[in-house]
Structure 1
Amino acid sequence: MPSLTPAGPDGGLTISEAAEALGITVDTIRYYEKEGIAPAPERGLSGWRRYDPSTMGWLAGVLMLRGTGMNIQQMREYAAAYQAGAPTEDRLALLEQHHAAVLERLADVHLHLSALERKIDAYREAVRAGAQVPSP
């Protein structure tokens, strides 16, 4: 896995190196840039995109937000607020709203996980007893 720090002669990672380092595709990086979610990277002397630690950090943050279920519109809104220099409190509010939504989804997942665990326990008990478990 490549380092997240610049190594190339132009002072940054190529888009392929950046994608590999982040575990995503080149197309994903381009999509986030096109949507205004990730900043366009600087171009090296060769004219190719070069991803410096700041840009890599931003992309890693985008992936974290996406991994928590933040949708593209919300990510656009957050990126736009940042790029417009919105007050820290405003950006914090966006993150706190998303955090609350994640906690709600997590509570639902825990509820369903508990039901699944009860079902698994019933099946294990049935297997031990040599019986059939009624559905569902």
Structure 2
Amino acid sequence: MLLPEVHVDEPVTISVAADLLGITVDTIRYYEKEGIAPAPDRGPDGWRRYDTAALSWLAGTVMLRGTGMSVQEMREYAAAYRAGADHAERLALLEQHHSAVLARQAEVQRHLAALERKIKAYRQTIVATSDSARPVA
């Protein structure tokens, strides 16, 4: 994945990787177990070591999840990548997801507009009620 990129000069442990990405160690392990993120190299101590490429892949995974991509869709994208899918095939997967994100965004905008109308109505009711409850001088 190209974006977003997290750069490190030397490979880091899983806890540092989690901190850099704003996720938990368990989340990283889950993505690896599910085949969404490749297992990183291990140091001489046997601990996972994440280089810039591994962190970049994980950062992209976090971004995709943040856009609402399902775990199954992320598995499919990762599998396509590992299977050597060409750029056009991977682009098609991302464009399909992009369309779904735009549709959800439009739906949220409609709901937000309805919520704002409801808030405005309650504010008007409160003002009208408080005006009529004031004693006439």
Give the structure-2-normalised TM-score.
0.87
Letter in 2 for 1:18: A
How far is the alpha carbon of 1:45 from its aligned partner?
2.1
Whether the 8 Å contact between 1:12 and 1:51 is mirrored in structure 2 is yes
Identity %: 66
Give unpaired runs (5+ residues) of structure 2: 1-5, 131-137
Aligned position for 2:28: 29
How far is the alpha carbon of 1:5 from its aligned partner?
3.9
Partners of 1:57 and 1:119 lie apart in 2 by: 42
Whether the 8 Å contact between 1:5 and 1:12 is mirrored in structure 2 is no
Greater Rg by CA: 2
Letter in 2 for 1:87: D
Letter in 1 for 2:47: W
Partners of 2:8 and 2:112 lie apart in 1 by: 42
Alignment of structure 1 residues 1-136 onto 2, 5 Å: 4-6=6-8, 11-130=10-129
Runs of 4 or more consecutive aligned structure 1 residues displaced over 2 Å after TM superposition: 4-7
Aligned length: 125
Q: Which digits, 9 at most, give the CA deviation of each residue in 1:39-93, with x for residues without a partner?
A: 1111112221100011000000000000000001100000011111101000000
Partners of 1:5 and 1:14 lie apart in 2 by: 14
Partners of 2:8 and 2:47 lie apart in 1 by: 14
Letter in 2 for 1:95: L
Give the structure-1-normalised TM-score.
0.87
2:11 alignment partner, SS class: coil
Partners of 1:87 and 1:6 lie apart in 2 by: 28
Letter in 2 for 1:121: K
Whether the 8 Å contact between 1:5 and 1:13 is mirrored in structure 2 is no
How far is the alpha carbon of 1:26 from its aligned partner?
0.7
Partners of 1:97 and 1:129 lie apart in 2 by: 48
Give unpaired runs (5+ residues) of structure 1: 132-136
CA RMSD of superposed structures (Å) = 1.2
1:70 alignment partner, SS class: coil
